[in-house]
Structure 1
Amino acid sequence: MENTGKKKSIAQRFLNGIEVFGNKLPDPFILFAILAVLVIILSAIFNMAGATVIHPGTGEELAVKSLASGEGLQYILTSMLDNFTGFAPLGLVLAMMLGIGLAEKVGMLDYAIKKTILKSPPALITYTVIFVGIMGNIASDAAMVLVPPLAAMVFYKVGRNPIVGIAAGYAAAGAGFTANLLIAGTDALLAGITTEAAQIINENIVVTPVDNWYFNIASVFVLTLVGGLVTNKFVEPRLGKYKGEEVEEAVAEDPPKAGKALRNAVIAGALYWGVILLIIFWPDSPLRNEEGGIVPSPFLDGIVPIILFFFITIGTTYGITVGNIKNSRDIGKYMGESMKDMSSYIVLIFAIAQFIAYFSWSNIATWIAVNGAEFLKDIEFTGIGLIIGYIIFTALMNFLITSGSAKWALEAPVFVPMFMQLGYHPAFTQVAYRVADSSTNIVTPLMPYMVIALSFMQKYDKKAGIGTFISLMLPYSVCFLLTWIVLILIFFFLGIPFGPGIDPYL
């Protein structure tokens, strides 16, 4: 509960201070515009100081170029549109969201999430809520709004504390962005930014959306178990039985053919992947490499279009069956609606693309990467301890910048090239970033969905406040972070690939 008229604890004052400071930060678009201007100023200073660096790939000596010079001004003006339209994450994410957005807009994803939770056996409710919350990130942020109230309703109806359901649902949905059995839009977004950063050092490196897939799959099952244990052993015993006022729970009626539509969508999805597998294993398949293997292969290179058509297939099947898609124009309409939801992302990408391009063109990124790596070697801080330190650093950064894409766009141009100089694969650095970012999403008071989840909680406890909410999220956050660090260590030391053909080292 929030304390009124009482002296606040150190933790409360710390979180309040973070909230005040974080709220004073500009909008991410303005933040990256400011950072782009800062790069221009720094490039001029470095240039006047005569800063140079040996490119690790070509051995060429590079001078830091000034963006404030005539050459720099020409670059800024002539490259602006190319920086934006050629920015790798833009096409990847928009393509993914055409398919995923269609499945969401016709109601398929919401219905699947709701039915999975509502039909869960009472003994498995906790683990089902955690699993669905994690998997819900396929619908992006929608899971953080949809899962907590559904979980509360189910907990309440079986005689358990509904606030526990809200806590479990929000924790899973908020921390689940690094875990999924499927390839999601987040995978495409982060892979694109990582590729842009990695190509500062090696222009031939490409990080694909499947490069963290094996780790993501393992994370789903490990986090489901850990999240369930935290809920049953810590959160629920602490809250005890629900003693609040009786609450009337109502479930919105589903479309008459929703069940049949979901069944048809599953059948259509299975047939789709059956055809893909048939093509892959067909003799001399065009989706395999010249040696007949899958890693690397045209199949992995084309995974985004393949997943796009998968979601179009199941979304269209569901929409036709349920009656939301009556003609071909409706498909385009729903896709268009999903693109409207991406408008703020497109605006942000414009600023991010300029920042990264200026950082790379000026050679500041290479200078920082090479000199930073040399410094870490000099102090002999280059092993797995460095990665864990980076995870903790990023977890704390989450208290100031909650947007996962914005924070990675800020960190990737610095840490990806630097860690490449130490021999680490860009996709491995990306894994470290993802576990750090995901684990503290749920405890930062700057996360906009926290207010929404708190309003759900106040339905059952009108005295609940931010302090109440964060105290419930903290056990999940700490346990998820520690679990993920252990999981990274297991993958690292046992040599388990993080994705197809992806090891920690280059």
Structure 2
Amino acid sequence: MSEAPGNSFAQRALAFVERTGNRLPDPAMLFVALLLVVWLASWLLSYFDYGLTDPRTGGPLQVVNQLSATAMTQFLGSMVTNFAHFHPIGVVLVAMLGIGVAEHTGFINAALRSMLRVTASWLLTPMVILVGIVSHTAADAGYVLVIPLGGVIFYSAGRHPLAGIAAAFAGVSGGFSANFIPSAIDPMLQGITQTGAQIIDPAITLNPLNNYFFTATSSVLIIGLGWLITDKFVEPRLASTPLDEDIVDQDSSTELTAQQSRGLRYALLSMVLSLLLLAVSAWSPESAWRGANGSLTELGAPLMASIVPLIFLLFVIPGIVYGIFSGTVTSSRDVIEGMTQSMHSMAYYLVIMFFIAQFVYAFSQSNLGVLLALQGGAGLQALGLPSAMTITGIVLLTGLLNLFVGSASAKWALLAPIFVPMLMSLGISPDLTQAAYRIGDSTTNIITPLMPYFPLVVVYCQRYVKNTGIGTLTAMMLPYSLGFIILWTLYLLLFWGAGLPLGLQSSYTY
């Protein structure tokens, strides 16, 4: 495969990033190191008087030494509770139980294939990106299903298969925080954001869909921009890239068997009926789904409190129905097996969450977060930077960090206790800070070889062009990354500047 000008520079830069990133410890051990840093910093800084007022108590702010005998015994005594009650864990696991059933029975696989199969050739690019975005609700399904299918479909349509892979990769990973459908990532990030916000205001609570309006409308932006970049920049550049003559016959597997089609029809029917039942039960002004003020979306409304269980049901019901009619579910054991496999895939996540929970506890108890927030807020105020520049800085810093630390939850658990309270002191809401983080976290996924699925995408490309390497894939995805981070950030600033709500309301007013 011929290299485009500048690709050698991209390869050298990526080699440097890879070497640097490989020196970082495992994310779990990174939080062990950060816990030690918090203990040491709290001990050293506990001897100083900062002349600041703690906004939570109205009294003087004091850093609490976490190496003291009292603090250490409290830490050990609460270690299990810190982990078991850490908000992101429960919501993610419950959602994944339902998604696991839908994946195991084949419902998600069949639904995605069906969406791609019925698309006109000129709409292939936006449909591939759309399916990639929708696949976010199924955790890693997009990486193992949508991206290779993007290549297969483009190849079958006489288009360059690497362009199909690039479009799918852009939708699945580059637009990770854009989605029409609420998913487990929403309550997971909201829980971490809420923990950070409570450093300043212990009474604050955030809605699990606090970014939903922004992320849902962002889907249109990502689809349109990805469509333009694929058809006008990426695919024309690939025109000079010949395919290998001995391409392995690809199984276009977008066609469904009669049994799978029947299962999909009944599954979709069950999903529609479930949503209709929910709508009917919530329609009445006296509905039990409504909050004290009669609103379905107000904070504390049972409907809002049930978002995660509803996501669970939205996948488990059609997943079971599909399995029954397609033959993949023959007994209750198959349903339980799907849930069990999904929990197996979450084992590493739980290990990381254990250490994150202990770090968040110690960081909160030490008052270091409050100190950083007040001092950082004072520093930003002294600089007099416009809020738009501050938000843009959060996006860029997150995107840079994402080149080295891939886990969205791990990065946000590290950054939220600093960014959220610091920007709250400047009058910037936690919802806006979280939205800025989500943009930075998404847009550089597709140009870092440290992202766990990046090498897998290289392998997908090598099915068509054997000498595809990391530099080739990075050069192919760089236009998406740059386009997404620039225009998506501008869209956030316009969204915010117009006074539009980012999502459903939380328990604060700015």
TM-score (norm 2): 0.95
Deviation, 1:394, is 0.9
Deviation, 1:397, is 1.0
Q: Give deviations 1:302-330, integer Å, cap 9, x for gaps.
A: 21112222222111111111122222333
User: Per the alignment, do residues 57 and 47 of structure 1 end up closer, same or farther by CA in structure 2, a change over 3 Å counting?
Assistant: closer
Deviation, 1:251, is 3.4
1:435 maps to 2:434: no
Q: Give deviations 1:191-216, integer Å, cap 9, x for gaps.
A: 11111111111122222321111111
Deviation, 1:143, is 0.6
**5+ residue gaps, structure 2:** none
Q: What is the CA–CA distance in structure 2 between the aligned matches of 1:243 and 1:503, rounded to whole Å?
A: 57
Counterpart of 1:106 in structure 2 is 105
Deviation, 1:51, is 4.8
Q: What is the CA–CA distance in structure 2 between the aligned matches of 1:327 and 1:41, rounded to whole Å?
A: 55
Q: What is the CA–CA distance in structure 1 between the aligned matches of 2:73 and 2:414, rounded to whole Å?
A: 24
Counterpart of 2:86 in structure 1 is 87
Judge which range, 239-248 or 455-464, deviates more: 239-248
Deviation, 1:388, is 0.7
Q: What is the CA–CA distance in structure 1 between the aligned matches of 2:6 and 2:401, rounded to whole Å?
A: 27
RMSD of aligned alpha carbons: 2.0
Deviation, 1:86, is 0.8
Matched letter for residue 478 of structure 1: L
Counterpart of 1:404 in structure 2 is 408
Matched letter for residue 127 of structure 1: P
Counterpart of 1:487 in structure 2 is 491
Q: Give deviations 1:147-181, integer Å, cap 9, x for gaps.
A: 12111111111111111111111121111221111
Q: Give deviations 1:12-53, integer Å, cap 9, x for gaps.
A: 332211110101111111110111111001100111334564
Q: What is the CA–CA distance in structure 2 between the aligned matches of 1:68 and 1:2, rounded to whole Å?
A: 58
Judge which range, 282-291 or 63-72, deviates more: 282-291
SS across alignment from 1:62:
coil
Q: What is the CA–CA distance in structure 1 between the aligned matches of 2:330 and 2:444, rounded to whole Å?
A: 43
Q: What is the CA–CA distance in structure 1 between the aligned matches of 2:305 and 2:444, rounded to whole Å?
A: 32
1:378 maps to 2:379: no
Answer whether contact 2:10 2:474 (CA < 8 A) is retained.
Answer: no
Matched letter for residue 321 of structure 1: F
Deviation, 1:501, is 2.9
Counterpart of 2:461 in structure 1 is 457
Matched letter for residue 250 of structure 1: D
Q: What is the CA–CA distance in structure 2 between the aligned matches of 1:365 and 1:52, rounded to whole Å?
A: 16
Q: Give deviations 1:38-91, integer Å, cap 9, x for gaps.
A: 100110011133456422233122310111111121122111111101100011
Judge which range, 260-269 or 199-208, deviates more: 199-208
SS across alignment from 1:257:
helix
Answer whether contact 2:163 2:234 (CA < 8 A) is retained.
Answer: yes
> 1:58-97 residue pairs with structure 2 within 5 A?
58-97=57-96
Judge which range, 292-301 or 161-170, deviates more: 292-301
Matched letter for residue 249 of structure 1: Q
Q: What is the CA–CA distance in structure 2 between the aligned matches of 1:123 and 1:208, rounded to whole Å?
A: 39
Answer whether contact 2:206 2:507 (CA < 8 A) is retained.
Answer: no
Judge which range, 485-494 or 46-55, deviates more: 46-55
**5+ residue gaps, structure 1:** none
Answer whether contact 1:149 1:166 (CA < 8 A) is retained.
Answer: yes
Deviation, 1:342, is 0.6
Q: What is the CA–CA distance in structure 2 between the aligned matches of 1:153 and 1:472, rounded to whole Å?
A: 18
Counterpart of 1:250 in structure 2 is 251
Counterpart of 1:499 in structure 2 is 503
Answer whether contact 2:129 2:223 (CA < 8 A) is retained.
Answer: yes
Q: What is the CA–CA distance in structure 2 between the aligned matches of 1:83 and 1:52, rounded to whole Å?
A: 31
TM-score (norm 1): 0.95
Matched letter for residue 169 of structure 2: Y
User: Per the alignment, do residues 439 and 7 of structure 1 end up closer, same or farther by CA in structure 2, a change over 3 Å counting?
Assistant: closer
Q: What is the CA–CA distance in structure 2 between the aligned matches of 1:316 and 1:204, rounded to whole Å?
A: 40
